[in-house]
Structure 1
């Protein structure tokens, strides 16, 4: 998996949201217009795993926030190639809820 900037698409209950994520030597950071993400990731062969903390920085009253105003954690596991990840995410705070995640390399670093 290459270091770089990735377009991240998250889908849950039929709704999708896109953001930008930077993957670099096991560290993950990124965000969108309302939240930021910080965490770490590993790739073993083609197995991808990331542990990510999410925090709302700008609340939009028209949007639903899965974690509310609090910081949340997600665990993302899936399959990696040199330039993409197809994965599923879960959270210890949201028992029984999963989401789909696709990362696609848009710029090398």
Structure 2
């Protein structure tokens, strides 16, 4: 029950935190993740928190990343890694390939999934 309450609170918080969107040319767009900066929505970029939730809910199963308890078990054992999740997200067109080398993004994804394990 605590797990469900935690997930619903985090999901609600991520929905309530909406940043304004401004049009940018491709050259103006910075696709690296920096948690200190407000993030703008982009159809080609999914936040690490959203990607963690999508992974947990099984959205990347067709890309080879199990969801729910199997995700947490695979993550704990090291069979599923942040880079594996990002690669699946790249294949699903959720993030750009540059995210594979973005340590901040990978760290935020790792922290979010580890939070799932604790609850």
Superposed pair shares fold, TM > 0.5: no
Higher percent of residues as helix: 2
Higher-Rg structure is 2
Question: What TM-score comes out, normalization by structure 2 length?
Answer: 0.28
